Amino acid sequence: MKKGKHESASGGWQSWGKGRKAGVIALSCAAALALLIGGWWTLFVRAPDVSGNDRPGVTNNDPNKKPGDTEQDEDDGSLVSGRKDDYYTFLLIGRDFGVKTVYTSVVIPVFLAIFERVFPDQPSIMGDVFVDMVCYLFVVSVGQAILFTHNASSGGLDIVGKLLNKFFRIELGKAVALAGMCVAVCSVFINPDVKTVALSVLGTYLDGIVLDHFIFGFDQKRRVCIMSSKLEELRQFILKDLHSGATIYDAIGAYDMKPRRELVVIVDKHEYTALMDHVEKVDPKAFVTVYAVGSVSYQPKPGRR
């Protein structure tokens, strides 16, 4: 009798049958996947309104909107009131970044709860703290780089890093590492274990390095300089197919002193591949030089991205 009462009292997840557990996990995964896909499509795939941001290369194409005007959205009030900790994200960084940050900070705990059920009490695979930290940093840095590339974050110290990046022009990786290192150093007052604190400081520093590496890799732009006899065809391709702009300079060859024209364009990695394929097709003898570009800041023309 006592045993039956004890089993019924303990109950819960451990007392469920395999079929019931599998059903709950399947439904939870389906709901989380639907939430993830719906939010990802709304916030990342569909073109968002980023009129409140200062991201270079993005503009509001509304011809009736005057400089300094702000847009009102009925949903903003519910988001801000629902997540007061993200209020300053909306205020200081922008609506687009704030909405995406709220979305990710809601989705991440859902998936963590699911994985805690699917893989309860998962021990270390490597059995070494340092190796675990390196693997963790690699996975987290890739995720952070993807979010920052789409003008979003997972909340927490990522927001602090974004603020440092915006107002002090510190690279995102270094900004996140700086914020994390401050927290790690301050943790010595709670946990005086020097080894743990040193490992935390080292981990946050490495996280910043890896994060910057992936961010620049995802958003790497190139400055392509082309001298060709088919310059007009290349110019039309850049304007009409790549939907980009370019600059044409007058130049003089030092060998024969003949006047020539050089076309210069800034492209991302996808546009770069298409452009080089077209150059090879139109004029294989074209003289092309390529430079890596760390940052681009400009005011787009109306109707262009």
Span 26-69, pLDDT tens digits: 666 666 666 556 555 555 555 444 333 333 333 333 444 444 44
Residues 59 and 219: their CA atoms lie apart, in Å, by 18
CB neighbours of residue 237 within 10 Å: 19
* Contact status, residue 35 vs residue 109, Cβ threshold 8 Å: no
Q: Where are the alpha helices (DSSP H) in 94-230?
A: 95-118, 129-149, 157-168, 172-186, 194-218
Q: Where are the beta strands (DSSP E) in 194-284?
A: 221-227, 247-252, 259-268
**Domain limits of the chain?**
24-59+86-218, 221-293
Span 128-169, pLDDT tens digits: 888 888 888 888 888 888 888 888 888 888 888 888 888 888
* Contact status, residue 152 vs residue 104, Cβ threshold 8 Å: yes
180-184-190-196 Cα dihedral, nearest 10 degrees: 140
Instruction: Give the pLDDT confidence score for residue 38 in this predicted structure.
Output: 59
The end-to-end CA distance of the chain, in Å, is 73
Distance of CA 164 to the CA centre of its chain: 16
Span 208-246, pLDDT tens digits: 988 888 877 777 789 999 999 999 999 999 999 999 999
Instruction: Give the pLDDT confidence score for residue 9 in this predicted structure.
Output: 41
Q: In terms of CATH architecture, what is 221-293?
A: 2-Layer Sandwich (3.30)
CB neighbours of residue 298 within 10 Å: 10
Residues 284 and 292: their CA atoms lie apart, in Å, by 22
DSSP-derived 3-state class of residue 205: helix
Residues 29 and 35: their CA atoms lie apart, in Å, by 10
Task: Kindly report the pTM of this predicted structure.
Answer: 0.56
